[in-house]
Structure 1
Amino acid sequence: MTIIEWDDHVALTQSAPGEFAASLSDGWVVGGGVNGGYLLATIGNALGRTAPGKPDPLSVSAYYLSAAVPGPATISTRVIRDGGSVATLAADLEQGDESRITVLATYGDLGRLPDDVRTTAEPPVLPPREECFSNSMAPPEVREMAPLMDRFDMLFDPACVGWAVGAPSGEGHIQAWFRLNGERDPDPIQLLMVVDALPPVSFDLGLMGWAPTLELTAHVRARPAPGWLRVSHRTRNVAGGMFEEDCEVWDSADRLVAQSRQLARLPRP
């Protein structure tokens, strides 16, 4: 591990206009595939290099077609419309003949947007970090199944970890402090990973196991301030073998910097 681990893992080589080669790291595996948030951030990195002057994701919607595996991948991007302040972009991630993810996104420059934040949302209330439970406490068999846990520090609210000892609350809520390895400060592309970094919120319903994402839409609202993030996941509905997961990401300046909703399959028994 080095301070540039994250940057290495989302690094790209441009082979032609709109064509990028990536090497998906085995350090982001969880359950039956590579973590969807890491994949989305890698694609987001390619999209950030597609429309000049518009490096930041504003809204990104991804459909997960098949489980990605560690190793080479190709990302193809295209400009659908490039307007004055925003561009509508599309991207596909493929491995060999397999399509893994298809994305539609709006990009711009967060630094040039009006500073007019108005919100009735309230930041999650978490205990001090020294009173929270670290992901480093997970049993060895869990860490072996989910090596992505070694990529970051995640400190769980003690009120939201009953599922880890067989006593889920049933409320469908998990929240934690979050920071990448090496104390790497967050940026807009990283936020695309953070919205999918916590364990599936279905765990708090007593439904354990890998929960494959079908669709994820993320909104990035501002460039995050340096320091720890606070991440909150909730679900309110289980139907048809699927559940929704709503995420909020707050920065150290008490700003809501990212939101997402995803639809995922319930873990198989």
Structure 2
Amino acid sequence: MSGVQDYRLYAGSELRLLERSLETPLQAWGDAWAGMPGEFALAARAVGRGERESPAVFHPFTGQGHAGTLHAPDDPAGVWLAWQCFGCAVAALPAGNRLVDATLGAALQALCRGLAVTPDRLAIADVQDRSGAVLLTIDRAGHSLDVLLPAACVASHLPARQPASDVLPPLLLSQARLANLVVLEVTARSASFSVEELMTASAGDILRLDHRVDDPFDIRLAGGGVVGQGLLGRKHDRLAVKFLPLRQEAR
């Protein structure tokens, strides 16, 4: 199959790494802009194709250059920022107050810098394919905000991956270690004996194995698995084993 998928899959370890990477800038943001001290709780989740579960998708952040629209009660960014910066609902803030609007706008800009994303890309309203995006839930003081991080933003917080390729590298047989020596063991079928039988065994006693004379022996790597079967024989003055065809069943 040719071609490489155009979206990035995230392992759980990568999402945890993203959360840890964002803890420091978000805590620095809280120390500078929050009305009271508090820790952030982060949860990152990979977003699938065509998924439309997050409120952030339907309510894009509109604080681009000015904060007037952040003062709307249905703007999730403004609602969350009001609680973080002023400790109250956004509806309780005086409308048209330049100081309030400037604070919300500056806080949003600082939050975007900490996330390595621009305000107009912090959430996207009408996009069918958000491949590689991550939904980041920021919770502090009992208030949460869903942030849709584009793939480029996520990549800035994660170690670079090797580029994917649909072409396998060639196998160089000259570099394969095929000449290494291995130790083979030839084993017969085992038999079970009681401890009493072993303790009373003496010279001349015969232990009967569960292995018939014409049954093949197992050939295995020393300390490893079976690699084949063979028949016990003789070559010159030594015992020898003749390999049988692979997968031959013992009789």
TM-score by length of 2: 0.19
TM-score by length of 1: 0.18
**Bigger fraction of residues in helix:** 2
**Bigger fraction of residues in strand:** 1
